[in-house]
Structure 1
Amino acid sequence: MFSERNEARRLKAQALRQQASTIATERSHPQRINNGEEAAYGYLVNYHKGLPHNAVGEVQHSAYRAFLNALTTSDPYDFDHIPQGHGGKGRKFVSPQAGLAFDLQGPDAQSLMIPPAPRVDSAESSAEMGELYWMSLLRDLNFADYDNNSLVNAAVASMNTDFSDFRGAKEQDQVTKKTLFRGISLNSDGVNSDAIGPYISQFLLKGNTIGTDFSEKDGYIRFGTLRVDQRNKVAIANTDYLTDFDEWLAIQNGKFPNKKDVFEKNLVFLRNLRDLATYVHFDQLYEAYFNACLYLLSETNVAGKAVFPFSQGNPYYNSPNQDGFATFGGPHLLSLVTEVATRALKAVWHTKWFVHRRIRPEGLGGLIHVHLSQNFPQHSYPMINEEILQALTCGGLSHHFNQETGFLLPMAFPEGSPLHPAYGAGHATVAGACVTILKAWFTENTPITNPVQASTDGLSLIPYNGEDADQMTLLSELNKLASNIAIGRNGAGVHWRSDYTESIKLGETVALGILQEQSLTYNETLTDGQTPFFQLTCFDGRTCHIAAGQITYSRITREAARINTLDNTPDVVPDIIPNLG
């Protein structure tokens, strides 16, 4: 009898693996298409940090062709022989072969694509660059002080008047002090959930109520017998990097920076873009979501009941005599919210190295500097869209950048960006994947009570009393958590807005694919005998339902998506070419 059961189990396991394999095989593998800059502009406006450059920062063509050759052949030998700047003694390229790896669960890394990146000759690219310059100028202003600051007023005016195609968060088609630098995730009504409440997500601030010793405002998350402190070691104010051209050029050649981060003496709660940039400079990529998961699993009311219940698709939601643990419980969730990170990274690493090769903002900042500076009269780059040049020379940014200061983008990190292309963004893709798991697990409309924000000095948490405080939910704060981490990289100067907007959706797709395949494997049923399911609101506002290997979506109107700027489809699609390889 036991041998018969074993044989039946073996065959059923095989059938489930085949069913999951069929799901994976039937997923589309779209054509890999970039924005055509590589062919149009001879590598000038593509990613080439770490390769050898000439005296004005233009990449050596032979080195870039060797780089392309490795990406085309996928031969490990060719990757080992990509030429390096700084005499081969500098920083190394970051994991370019990761996008060639396979995974046996979830979508294949090469089955997932993001749209072509905005071209450097587009108004959208100008707007994204303009936002980054303003972020650099406002790094040290606390988010709570945005309402009454003249520089914030100037940034808002500039984003509305200097740039014709900005696709960030808006109210009634205008950037406002409330939406400045915010994310654009939607709730199911098509409303921008990222714009609700204070800028920083509650999951980067609050702690659990731990016995009689600590309250939420103390900022300690329960982690077994340990406590995770939500206070952070942050960089000191008014210290930016790569504002000198020689320093910038050395860093483009891959040289290790001569300068180091300098930190504040006290640990603080996150208050401003510089604090957030420091966080995403040193975090482990799934750290914020693991901490959020710990908080959500551990927060109970005075009666000992979970404040954040699991979703109603969980088979143990109403079970009379069972709790979830290895399946549909805390250990399952804690492992899954981190498991998706590596799969998300493989997907985005393929897009960034093998498809788009988008220049980092600091690279375009160098081109802009050479183009505008009187120190380089023999060099000009007419492919740079005029709107960013106008903003820097006679628009809102001209009050802060000039011939004397130069036009380089001030960076928050001594080394500038990492040595891998910009688009998509690793942090943003992981954010999209991990937050999707958390949204699938918990009841999304659970209200966030007693919201907080950092005090001016960052040493304590104080109540948030904005008029929208009662609108904050688990969904809005998880969406905001994803945008905080992704846009924090933008605030450092190392990523573009569209790196964030497209990459969180890429990560979401990875996570949904894993949930889809895992949904085949469970024995449990709901108390009414129905199949367990996951249900969540996607970043674009659609409702997604996953059960028994099937994914179904509700619809959000295209008009609602356009109003909230998540539909990034241009009215005129630029010429594009198939990618090499």
Structure 2
Amino acid sequence: MGFKKAKLKGDFSSIKRIQKAFKIRNETALYYKKLPKVEHPGNGDERRYFNKIASYIKALPQNSLGEVDLRAYDKYLEAIETGEPEDFEKIPLGGERKLVNPQSAYSFDLVGPDSHQMVCPPPPAFHSEEFASEMVELYWQALTRDIPFNDYHTNPLTIAAAEELSTLTRFHGPKINGQVTPKTLFRQDFPGALEGPYISQFLWKDFPFIATKIIQKYKTTLAGDDHLTKYEDWLAVQTGNPLPSSIKYDTTPRYIRNGRDLGEFVHKDYSVESGLAPCLILLSYGPGALDASNPYLKSNTQVGFSSFGAAHVLDFVLRAVRPALDAAWCQKWLVHRRIRPEEFGARIQHKMTGDANYPIHPVVLNSNALLKTYEKYKTYLLPQAFAEGCPTHPEYPSGHATFIGAMVTMLKAFFNESFVIPDPVVSSSDGLSLESYDRTLTVGGELNKLAYNIAIGRNTAGVHFRSSAINGMLLGEEVAIGILRDYQTTYNEEFEGFSLTKFDGTKITINI
């Protein structure tokens, strides 16, 4: 007696498979189509100041005060508004440097939320006390670049920085009992991220790479190698002309031990490196480090690979980068066009010398940080760690913050955030060796720490503000959660959804 053969999931001829694939893609697209239209509020600075003193203008033609040629700015806005490739070719430039990738702001992504459907809150306005407070922090970060993180609690400069930032009512960095301390200085209070050393374990520990291991000692720059502290140098670089100076490199590779080292790390990386190394470290810890929701932890006969295994994790961590950058570039070019710190430093310079009367809040003008900067460099310009200063794209939000926010969110989805990091370490103050660290550190806390290391490392170099770092990380988190959600219905395994702790401490499970 015969029997009727069942239609199997693996039947390639099955029309049901084709229909289901279409349904998954169609329903995902419909989900985004039905979302309400969003508004993108700015801080009003571009409209508020006819001479665009609070807007990003680097690489455009400028006068001797570093104020933009308004005809060039109009061409720039025209290209932004039309989005036509030929209009971008008509933007006048002030020198040799070109604008970085404005057309990526119009790109579409086929997975995750569309970049134009996500919103960054307006950054602090140019004249505000909050913006001035962010600049005070940047002056302190520049002044303390060469101080080892290990010495923050004893060095007079870092102690003075914490004391002054504590007096600023509109400063939003982390505090203990209402005070900025050397323990919270230049950090962010994401869950677990204030525990232990300033630098994440994922930027110190060796990581496996194929059949070898990589020791995380990096090329860095010499102490005191600061740039654009002379006005003529600043103006030349602002208008896109050749660099007046070059970086002086240390010949000895070092573990990241101070702000200058961290700034150089985020100067030379492309994008994915700061997520790739932690991913390889976490994979090396084995199944115990995986998130409890991984379906193969319960299987007696299978392990994961292209789904819920190493290939899956690596793909998702790295694939989050480009959509995150698209989201950041949309906000940078199409919405905010915010001034860079080095440009704000020049506005402060002209205000202090009486060459111009810009509406700058006295919190920064009267700060100890600005006074000490002038005493050291004889100008009020913000010292830059990079010879070329900031990149040639607008400031808000930080691209590094956005892509690291996305990658860290992916890592938290796949790995157990409460897993204890084995054999934690701390760099010596000279960066030549790693020493044992005798307290418990968890994956979740160290991933959150990694996020602010990469984001605020750009601030330490002088190219971003705190609000840009924090809101960039949150934007990247939103991108990653959207990608995870869109893939939720694509798996054959019995899977209840990705779970993770967001940067604000909220615990979520991502399912349909």
Which residue of structure 2 aligns with residue 11 of structure 1?
19
Aligned to 1:31: 39
Distance in 2 (alpha carbons) for counterparts of 1:483 and 1:404: 29
With normalisation by structure 1, the TM-score equals 0.84
Match of 2:510, SS? strand
Alignment equivalent of 1:399, drawn from 372, 393, 415: 372
Shift of 1:234: 0.6
1:173 alignment partner in structure 2: 178
Cα deviation, residue 229, structure 1: 2.3
Structure 2 CA distance for aligned equivalents of residues 479 and 507 of structure 1: 13
**Which ranges of structure 1 fall in alignment gaps of 5 or more residues?**
188-192, 208-220, 300-305, 526-530, 551-581
Residue 307 of structure 1, CA deviation: 6.8
Structure 2 CA distance for aligned equivalents of residues 378 and 512 of structure 1: 48
Find the counterpart in structure 1 of residue 123 from structure 2: 117
Does residue 199 of the first structure (1) align with residue 198 of the second (2)? yes
- Equivalent residue number for residue 426 of structure 2: 453
Instruction: State the match for 1:517 in structure 2.
Output: 486
> Aligned-pair distance for 1:399?
3.5
- Contact residue 208 and residue 280 of structure 2 kept, 8 A: yes
Alignment correspondent of 1:476:
445
**Is the 1:156–1:177 contact (alpha carbons within 8 Å) kept by the matching residues of 2?**
yes
- 1:271 aligns with 257
Report 1:12-411 matches (<5 A): 12-42=20-50, 43-86=52-95, 90-161=96-167, 163-185=168-190, 187=191, 193-207=192-206, 221-299=207-285, 306=286, 308-373=288-353, 377-381=354-358, 383-391=359-367, 395-402=368-375, 405-411=378-384
- Report the secondary structure of 1:401's partner residue: helix
Distance 2:415 2:164 in 1: 40
CA distance in 2, matches of 1:403, 1:197: 32
Distance in 2 of aligned mates of 1:404 and 1:426: 29
Counterpart amino acid of residue 44 in structure 1: I
Is 1:429 paired with 2:420?
no
Question: How far off its partner does 1:4 sit?
Answer: 8.4
User: In the comparison of the two structures, how many residue pairs are matched?
Assistant: 503
Q: What is the deviation of 1:31?
A: 0.3
Q: Which 4+ stretches in 1 moved above 6 angstroms? A: 1-4
CA distance change for structure 1 residues 404 and 18 in 2, over 3 Å: closer, same or farther?
A: closer
Deviation digits for residues 70-105 of structure 1, max 9, x if unmatched? 11111111111111002xxx1110000101010111
| Cα distance between partner residues in 2 of 1:23 and 1:38 | 34
Using the TM superposition, give the Cα deviation of residue 23 of structure 1 relative to its aligned residue in structure 2, in angstroms. 2.2
Contact 2:140–2:369 (Cα < 8 Å) also in 1: no
CA contact (8 A) 1:356 1:423 kept: yes
Checking the alignment, whether the CA contact within 8 Å between 1:297 and 1:330 is kept in structure 2 is: yes
Alignment of 1:457-468 (within 5 A): 457-465=430-438
How much does 1:396 deviate?
A: 5.0
Deviation by residue 1:268-303 (Cα, 9 ceiling, x = unmatched): 10000000000000012110110000111013xxxx
1:29 is displaced (CA, Å) by: 3.8
Q: Are the aligned partners of 2:120 and 2:475 in contact in 1 as well (CA < 8 Å)?
A: yes
Secondary structure, aligned partner of 1:535: strand
**SS of structure 2 residue aligned to 1:116:** coil
Going from structure 1 to structure 2, the CA distance change for 1:378 and 1:129 (only over 3 Å counts) comes to closer
Distance in 2 separating the partners of 1:335 and 1:534:
16
Alpha-carbon contact 1:29-1:110 (below 8 Å) kept:
no
Maintained 8 Å contact 1:311/1:443: yes
Q: Distance in 2 between matches of 1:77 and 1:455?
A: 53
Counterpart of 1:505?
474
Larger deviation, residues 23-32 vs 106-115: 23-32
Q: What is the distance in 1 between the residues matched to 2:227 and 2:164?
A: 24
Which amino acid in structure 1 is aligned with residue 161 of structure 2? A
Moved more, 164-173 or 515-524: 164-173
Q: Which amino acid aligns with 2:482?
A: G
Q: Secondary structure at the match of 2:422?
A: coil
In the alignment, the residues of structure 1 paired with residue 199 and residue 377 of structure 2 have an alpha-carbon distance, to the nearest angstrom, of 35
Shift of 1:6: 2.5
Cα deviation, residue 26, structure 1:
3.0
For the pair 1:495 / 2:464, whether they are aligned, the reply is yes
Per-residue Cα deviation, 1:138-170 (whole angstroms, up to 9, x for no partner): 000000011111111111111122x22000111
